[in-house]
Amino acid sequence: MQPVIDALVYVVDDDASVREALAWLLRSRRLLSESSDSAEAFQRKLEGRTTPAQPSCLLLDVRMPGLSGLALFDWLIARELHLAMPVIFLTGHADVATAVDAVKRGAFDFCEKPFSDNALVDRVEQALVQSRALLQARQRSGMLRERQDELTERERDVMRLVVEGLPNKLIADRLDISVRTVEVHRARVFDKMEVKSAVELANLLRLTP
């Protein structure tokens, strides 16, 4: 698997040797990383964000002094940050059941210490692919909403009927306007939505949540 370009792996672990080892491992696979020595420090780094600025994932220790990894995970869930920043828990044998429960609640995966370097980085890369896909989908949805916001109410009416597959004559009858007026609105809809056909318009609108 090719590394995700411009991706960032966050590492949150209170053990400096673990942070250093993971940073080296990720560098060896051409992955950038940032480390935090506590959940609180990582929280401060993300405060105010609603989505990561780039494809990201989080390697998170379960047990840490102060705020635990599980408590931090709950904080991420409350802000829906765990969706675009998949969480992989790093856990000792005693915490496997806890990590499994976290996966059921939305964590991407967990790796038991001592973990296989290759298996861990493979999962990191898969998490980054998921992150990138979600961020791209959100970006597309945002652009579509901006385009739709430019439509007038009548253009929205015409667009809805065009997507339903109605010909101009039936759209004109349904909206009690002339066929020529439908043609004008249809052309404006295509122009504003940056499409060339009704099929392309329908496919585009399927991307809007």
The pTM assigned to this predicted structure is 0.74
Predicted pLDDT at 169: 94
Find the mean pLDDT for residues 116-138: 92
Q: What is the mean pLDDT of residues 132-145?
A: 87
Does 150-205 match 8-142 at the fold level?
no
Is 57 exposed, middle or buried (CB count within 10 Å of its CB: 0-12, 13-18, 19+)?
A: buried
User: CATH code for 8-142?
Assistant: 3.40.50.2300
**Residues paired with residue 91 on neighbouring β-strands, in sequence order:** 112
- Residue 65 CA to residue 53 CA, distance in Å, equals 28
Q: In DSSP terms, which residues pair with 57 in a beta bridge?
A: 9
Is the C-alpha dihedral spanning 45, 49, 55, 58 positive or negative?
positive
Q: Are 162 and 201 in contact (CB under 8 A)?
A: yes
Separation of alpha carbons 16 and 9, rounded Å: 16
Q: Which of 68, 56, 59 is nearest to 120 (CA)?
A: 59
User: What are 45-71's pLDDT values in tens digits?
Assistant: 988 777 888 999 999 999 999 999 999
- Residue 90's SS3 state is strand
Provide mean pLDDT across the span 140-146.
85
Rounded Cα distance between 40 and 42, Å, is 5
CATH class, range 150-205: mainly alpha
In the structure, what pLDDT confidence band is assigned to residue 75 with cuts at 50, 70 and 90? Answer: very high
pLDDT tens-digit map of 8-47:
999 999 999 999 999 999 999 899 999 999 999 999 998 8
Q: How far apart are CA 88 and CA 111, in angstroms?
A: 7
Q: Can you give the residue ranges of every domain in the chain?
A: 8-142, 150-205
